[in-house]
A = this chain, B = another copy of it.
Amino acid sequence: MTALRSIEQSLPISLLRAREAVMARFRPLITGYGLTEQQWRVIRALAEADELSATQLAEICCILHPSLTRIFRTLENKKLIKRRRSRGDGRVVSVSLTEQGRVLFEEIAPQSEKLYRQLEAELGRDEIDRLLTALNRLRNI
């Protein structure tokens, strides 16, 4: 008898539920600015790295290439990002924030950070650090 473990003990489902609980706090902020979660991940990655290729963004943001292409188009229409061909390799698209995109990021970031701080206050900094370490280890299995 090899019964499946209970849902409480399922890693994928526990990860999903935990993420939902956390996102319930951040989602209103993001959607309030007319952004989807995925679009915000892209903006945030670009704010941190200045310039990334589509392949790098797909890896960092956990978004498939065709979805990314559409997100690029949407964010480009909103004038939040810009695309250009890489000088070194003509196949590569180099994506970066526009000035307007940077301004939007700077407006949202401190509010997001405030929500993180509240979370830390409730769960404890150590608990969150341990969790992040475990999650990043899991990511590289």
A48 within 8 Å of B (CB atoms): yes
CB distance from A25 to the nearest CB of B (A): 8
Answer whether A14 and B62 are a contact pair too, CB < 8 Å, given A109-B2, A113-B5, A123-B141: no
Tell me the number of copies of this protein: 2
B113–A2 touching, CB < 8 Å: yes
Give complex CA distance A132, B15 in Å: 8
Is A136 interfacial (CB-CB < 8 Å)? Answer: yes
Q: Which of A73-112 contact B (CB under 8 A)?
A: 105, 109-110, 112
For A48, the chain B residues whose CB sits under 8 A away are 6-7
Q: Measured between alpha carbons, how far is A116 from B11 in the docked complex, in Å?
A: 9
Q: Which residues of A contact B (CB under 8 A)?
A: 2-23, 26, 41, 44-45, 47-48, 60-62, 105, 109-110, 112-114, 116, 119, 122-123, 127-128, 130-132, 134-141
